[in-house]
Structure 1
Amino acid sequence: MSIDTLARTSRAKRKISARRWLVPYVFLSPAGLLFVVFLAIPIIYAIYLSFRGMHVSGGGPFGVREETWVGFDNYIRTFTDAEFFAGFGRLAIYGVIAVPVTLGLALLFALLLDLPRVRAARFSRIAIFVPYAVPGVIASLLWGFLYLPSTSPLNWILNQLGFADLEVLTGGALFPAVANIAIWSGVGFNMIIIYTSLRGIPNELHEAARIDGASEWQIAWRIKIPLVAPALVLTGLFSLIGTLQLYGEPTTLRPMTNEISQTWVPLMKITRDAFARDDLSLAAASSVVLAIGTLVVSVVLLRMTQKKAFGDGS
C-alpha cells in the first residue's frame, strides 16, 4: 500500500471519528436549546430581578418610577413576611395528608396488580391511571362542584334522608378536601412507577419464597417492598416537590369558599405580589427562596434514603 493511500485512509478515519464525536451533540442540541431558553435564562433573570426594586424619583405627583439595585432588601422582606411562611405551615398540613396517602394507595394498587392470576389487570391499570391524564384545573373544578352544597349529589342524597348539608370547604375538612384532588390525580402516576419496578423483580425470587411456604403478604412485605425502595423514594420525591408547588387546586377552589385567601400557599402569594401588586422583585426573591428550599429538601431526602434504598452510602 502506497504512502498516499495510507494518508488518505488516515484522514478518512479522522473525519469519521470527528463525525462520531459530533453526532451526540447534534441530537442533544434541541433539548439543550430549549433548556437554555425556557429554564436557564428565566432562572438567571429571576435571580437578577430579585436584587432590583422600584424607586420613585422626583417629588410630587409627577414622580417617575425607576428600577434600581436594592441588594438583599427583597430577601429580607421575604424572610420577615409572616404571610409567606404561614403558607408553608398550610403546605405542611396538606403534605402530611396528601403525600403518605398518595404513596400508600399507589403501593397498595401496584402490589394488588402484581399478584399472580389477578383479573382485569390491564383495565385496572388504565382505570387507576386515567385521573392523572385529567388537567389539574379541570379536576379541581369537578371536585369543587362535588364539594359545593348546592351542586353536590351527596348532599342531595343526605337531604332526601333528612340530614343536613355536608360542608367540605370549611373548617377542618378544607385540607382533606384540597388534598383529595391531588391524591385522586397522583395515585395513578405513582402506581405505574412502582408497578414497573415490581415487574422488574425476577420471578425466581417469588417462586422460591412460595416453595418455602411464604404467603403473598409475606412476599410483598419481605421481598417486593424492599426491592422497590428506589421507586418509592422517587415517587416520594415527586410528591414532595408537587406539594411545595401546590397552586392550581386552591386557586381553582378559592371562588367557592371564603377559607382560601390570596396567600393561602406560597405560590399563590408570589402570584399576587407579581401580578396584583406589581411587585415583581419581591415575587422573584420569594420564588428563589422557594426554589432553593425545594432543592435543599430534595437533597436532604435523597441523602437520608439513598443508603437504604440504593445501597450506596457515599
Structure 2
Amino acid sequence: MDQIQTMRVFVRVVEAGSFTKAAESLALPKGTVTKLVQHLEGRLKVKLLNRTTRRVTVTPDGAAYYERTARLLNDLDDIEAGMANAQASPSGRLRVDVGASVARHIVVPALPGFYERYPDIQLDLGVSDRVVDLISDNVDAVIRVGDLTDQSLVARRIGNLSLLTVASPGYLKLHGTPLHPSELENGNHRTVSFFSSATGRPHPHVFEKDGETLELTARYKVAVNDSNAHTMAILAGLGVSQTAVFAAAPYLASGELVEVLADWKRPALAVHVVYPPNRHLNAKTRAFVDWAAELFARHPHLTRP
C-alpha cells in the first residue's frame, strides 16, 4: 500500500473526526479508508485512533503521529507546488463557504471575473449562514462577517460591513415610524429577528449615538437564520430590522425599503476570509483569498479594514 496515501487518509480521518466524512471528502470507499488506517496501525504496532459508534478520536500516540505527518505532507505539497510552478496557473477543486446574502449580492455576481483570471479552478461554493467547521467539513476557506470565535484559525480582514435600520413603506403606514430605538422593545413596533444557527439565540439590535450605546433584544413576530430570508421578511412588512447596506441598497433605491432611525448607527462589522492554520495554503486557496480581498476592497457598500 502507498505510504503517502495512507498518511493522507489518516490525517483526513483525524481532521474529519469520522471515517465516513473522511471517505466522502477523499472520494474513497469507507472500507478502503478503514483498511488503510488499520494497516497503518499494524505496521506501526500502536493504536492511533479510538473508535466509537458516533466519533473517532486520537490516542496520545495518534496525536503525536498526526502532528508530524501533517507537517511532512505540507512540506511535500510545498515541494510539488514549487516544482510544478503552480503559482503561475492555480488549478484544482476548491471548497469555499460564504454567507447567503454575501454570496447573492457580492461573490456570485463577481465570479465571471474570477474565472477569467483562474480558469482552471473548480469552485465548490457552500452558501449558508451556518458556521461550518473548516477542519471536519474539509473546507479550504470561508468568508465570515462579525466577531471570530475560533482563535485557532488564520483570518485576513478584508473589509468592514455597515448596517442600516430599515422597514417597508407598508409597515410604516400601518405602525408609524419609530423615533427612538426603545420603541422597538416597548411593544409599539414589531421587529424581524436573525437568530444564530449554532446557539438558537437571536442577535441583538445595536444602536450608537453621541457616545451612547443601546443593545436591544427586541420582541419579534418572526425570526430567521438565513440572511436572504431576513431581507425578504423585512420587504414583506413583517417588522423593522437592521441589515447590511449592500443587501438593502437596491430596495432603498426602488423605494421598497425606507431607512429609519438614521441618526442611530450600528457599529460596522468586520469581514474576514478564514482558513485552517494546519493546512498548506496552496496556490488555489491563496488565489481565492487574494481575489476576495480585492473584491471587498473595491465594493461601493463596504469600507476598507
TM-score interval w.r.t. the shorter chain? under 0.3
TM-score (norm: length of structure 2):
0.21
Higher radius of gyration, 1 or 2: 1
Q: Which has the higher strand share?
A: 2
Write 1 or 2 for the structure with the bigger share of helix. Answer: 1
